[in-house]
A = this chain, B = another copy of it.
Amino acid sequence: MVLLSAGPGDLDLLTLKAVKALAAADVLLLDELVDPLIATLAPSARVVRVGKRAGCRSTPQSFICRLTRRYALQGLNVVRVKGGDALMFGRAGEEIAFLRAAGIGVRIINGVSAAFAAAAALGISLTHREHCHGVTFVTAHTHDHGEPDWGALARTGTTLAIYMGMSRLASLAAGLLPHLPAATPVAIVQGASRAGEHCRLTTLRALRDASSQTTTDAPGVILVGAAIADARVCERGAELGTTMWAVGG
């Protein structure tokens, strides 16, 4: 079977390898956040949606694993499609382990994770060497319903790319404020690379103070750190998924 990364949304950000795998698919198992239009690239495939929304486990993980195994053992060309890069924040590890234990080979096809598309939308490097030492990708809440160690994350001197945090902007801003300057720039990018892409620039202090109004369940990426100071609010180019800055912007 194939574990396929669908990228951030714009189907033009699929890799050539992904497009070839989709064309050969008998069955697509699609995550919630993947654009259903991806099925147009898999004309022979039966499409099964197996999404889980944050806090609403519409399809249990164990069911997805068993379904993948059943199709694969029938000899079908199963393509499991996850948003972004399948190897970051998608429980791919659990699915790979389950399928390996069943003797099923897993082929992995990489893709573009949402934070990279968010940085492209803002026109910034995630790791500008004058501002930071790298970039850290974390989720806003941990497996055991706690929070990340915001102090340790701040001390790394890396840009923070926070996933699955749109519904808890208040607590993550409050968690970071004791460890970073209140004026630290923050960008919130929803729907990066998609037609409805939306960017907002703010600061940690403003995010904490305004967070009750800005809570939303729409998926997005929150970027925090000095490197975000270079971000520009962008105009969309004529081509979908393309960002072009105004001259001198």
Residues of A within 8 A of B (CB): 7-8, 10-17, 19-20, 85, 87-94, 96-97, 100, 103-113, 116-117, 119-120, 123-131, 133-139, 142-143, 148-149, 152-153, 155-158, 193, 227, 230, 237, 241-249
Contacts and interface: CB of A to CB of B under 8 A. Distances in A.
Most buried by B among A11, A108, A227: A108
B108 A123 contact: yes
Nearest to A7: B15
Counted per complex, copies of this chain come to: 2
6 contacts: A91-B129, A93-B124, A96-B124, A130-B143, A134-B139, A148-B156
Contacts of A88: 116, 125-127, 135
Contacts of A149: 133, 155-157
Given A17-B241, A108-B119, 5 more contacts: A7-B110, A12-B17, A89-B134, A107-B243, A152-B152
A126 to B, nearest CB: 5
Contacts of A93: 124-125, 127-131, 227, 230
A248 B103 contact: yes
Nearest to A95: B125
Contacts of A11: 16
Contacts of A90: 125
Contacts of A126: 87-88
Contacts of A19: 16
Given A13-B15, A112-B15, A245-B105, A124 B156 contact: no
A94 B96 CA distance: 39
Given A19-B16, A248-B100, A120 B87 contact: yes
Contact of A230 (B97, B103, B152, B246): B97
B158 A136 contact: yes
